Structure 1
């Protein structure tokens, strides 16, 4: 790996392989690489902490003592929004690195926004990067998409419950 990237003119911090390693080891973006139970636990923590915002908003519309079910439905529904925002941020970070790794060329800046350059990857680096996308990043993106579909399903369940049982 160091031999093939030693002649690469792209600054180290802008090389896609280094961006991938940085993302993988980061506190937030590394969540999606955890085992499923730990990943779900992290997302549930986002939902639990978001209740600090959503519960008072729900209580303002539906006092807990008078409308406990409506309060619960809206507080949980609101926390799903925060979980979805976290999942969107995860997706955007990983898709950016995927696109940088998968592309045949790398756009980079030498010293600032005004001097951008493009470097065409060598066949070895392109092959390495695309293998990394196939075996490492695609499963991550699949997990995040599964998270989205689960959140959509939960949101549909909350709205259906509201329409069928609470609103009438």
Structure 2
């Protein structure tokens, strides 16, 4: 890396952006053991559940039907984990796109003076490997979690209608 002069500020290089996400408390959830993401999403759902049940209890019909009240609250509480997953997806897909790109867009001074730098071949190869073997599995985990959460939302909503 030192052999190629790089005008891109260190914190705007795709590999450094990847490292920043890995060090982040929030974005590191899907990088840890597979249960790390599931545990974090479950905790967020459990934290949000009392709030959604309380809001659902404002409905006159649900207030007198505890099973439907709990089901409605549980389904509504899935919105927070879904929003967290979408935010993680956006962050990781941004880094994935930057790693796959042959050019790096960057700001030199922060005054919107956008520049573009073409990656040398060695950097492209390294970034491509990182995108394929590090970031793509993370995006896969996030996609599976979003699919499960969406499925739970749909099943829960249909159960609320059936009760």
Same-fold status (TM-score > 0.5)? yes
Superposed CA deviations along residues 29-58 of structure 1, whole A, max 9, x for unmatched, are 000112122221110011011124312111
Tell me the SS of whatever aligns to 1:60: coil
Which residue is equivalent to 1:50?
A: 48
Which residue is equivalent to 2:94?
A: 96
Superposed CA deviations along residues 123-157 of structure 1, whole A, max 9, x for unmatched, are 10001001000000000000000001101111121
Where does structure 2 lack aligned partners over 5 or more consecutive residues?
A: none
Which residue is equivalent to 1:59?
A: 57
Tell me the SS of whatever aligns to 1:136: helix
Superposed CA deviations along residues 50-96 of structure 1, whole A, max 9, x for unmatched, are 12431211111122xx2111111111111111110000011001001
Which residue is equivalent to 1:38?
A: 36
Matches within 5 A, 1:9-20: 9-20=7-18
Which residue is equivalent to 2:2?
A: 3
Which residue is equivalent to 1:84?
A: 82
Where does structure 1 lack aligned partners over 5 or more consecutive residues?
A: none
Which residue is equivalent to 1:109?
A: 107
TM-score (norm 1): 0.91
Tell me the SS of whatever aligns to 1:119: strand
TM-score (norm 2): 0.94
Which residue is equivalent to 1:27?
A: 25
Separation in 2, partners of 1:26, 1:129: 20
Q: Which runs of 4+ in 1 moved over 3 A?
A: none
